Amino acid sequence: MRGYVNDINLYYEDKGQRDAVLLVHGFPLNCTIWTPQVRALAPQYRVILPDLRGHGRSDAPPGPYTMDLYADDLAALLDHLQVRRVVLGGLSMGGYIAFAFYRKYAGRVRALILADTRAGADTPEGRERREAGARLAEREGSAAIAAQMLPNLLSPRTRERRQALVARVQSMMARTKPVGIAGAQRGMALRPDSSPLLAGIDVPVLILVGEDDIITPPAEAEQMAAAIPGARLVKVPHAGHISTLENARAVNRALLSFLAGLHRP
């Protein structure tokens, strides 16, 4: 489906009924990284999956796309869908956006799911790498970024045994428009440190991390879990940075158990 929100056409999927769960993808991917979770959750929950601006089937205006801008897109999408409060999940950049959303719209967040992400901002070197990545995408196209990112994205096991999944992730990245890649890279470089936010988060939090994630490693997830009161941490076996696809069964089990807990008095 498509909605005109915050001055762009945003593509989204909206499946199931009742309590809403909004799941936000990472960079430079699209909403289909959450497809296995829709199958598991939609019988009980309303699952909303946007393609972020610059990604998938959504518009790709010039960036930078700050995490605040993305948060505003999501708030506008929820307004469009007449949804007030959600369980908000984000993977990697989706997690950076979840922090921005919580900062701006805490009252709309029922619980947070932080998957393969981190709270910290970029280092100066990290910001330089992002600018170089933005320029590479603009100069040589998205396939160059896909080739650069692929080796670090998935676990050794996924790379060895699941060629179809590897090809799917590579083509997802290669199909993201260069302007979208550049906009997101420059926006992520501008994001603030969300660590000071962690101690004050007062909604239930589930943290997921692939055991073999080398982009946002388990140590980062442990730090977040230690800083957020009552956070639950689940390490996903045999998964790298895209745990939702690499070990969907374990992720789905963790999500269903966390969501069921929200209903208990």
8 Å CB contact between 66 and 72: no
Q: Is the dihedral of CA 48, 171, 240, 245 positive or negative?
A: positive
47: left (phi over 0), alpha (psi -120 to 50) or beta: beta
Strand-pair partners of 3: 10
Cβ nearer to ligand MLT, comparing 46 with 191: 191
Asked if residue 93 binds ligand MLT (CB under 6 A), the reply is yes
Cβ nearer to ligand MLT, comparing 92 with 142: 92
Of these, 5, 52, 115, 188, which contacts ligand MLT (CB under 6 A)?
188
Rg (CA), the chain: 17
Asked if residue 98 binds ligand MLT (CB under 6 A), the reply is no
Q: What binding mask, one character per residue, do residues 10-49 give for ligand MLT by CB under 6 A, x or -? A: ----------------xx----------------------
CB of 259 vs ligand MLT, minimal distance in Å: 23
Report residue 204: phi and psi, to 5°. -60, 140
Cβ nearer to ligand MLT, comparing 152 with 163: 152
Asked if residue 144 binds ligand MLT (CB under 6 A), the reply is no
Cα–Cα nearest to 157, from 243, 80, 94 = 243
Cβ nearer to ligand MLT, comparing 27 with 99: 27
Asked if residue 99 binds ligand MLT (CB under 6 A), the reply is no
The alpha carbon of 223 is separated from its chain's Cα centroid by a whole number of angstroms, namely: 19
Cβ nearer to ligand MLT, comparing 23 with 93: 93
8 Å CB contact between 90 and 15: no
Number of residues that bind ligand MLT (CB under 6 A): 7
Amino acid at 36: P
Where do contacts with ligand MLT occur on this chain (CB under 6 A)? 26-27, 92-93, 188, 215, 241
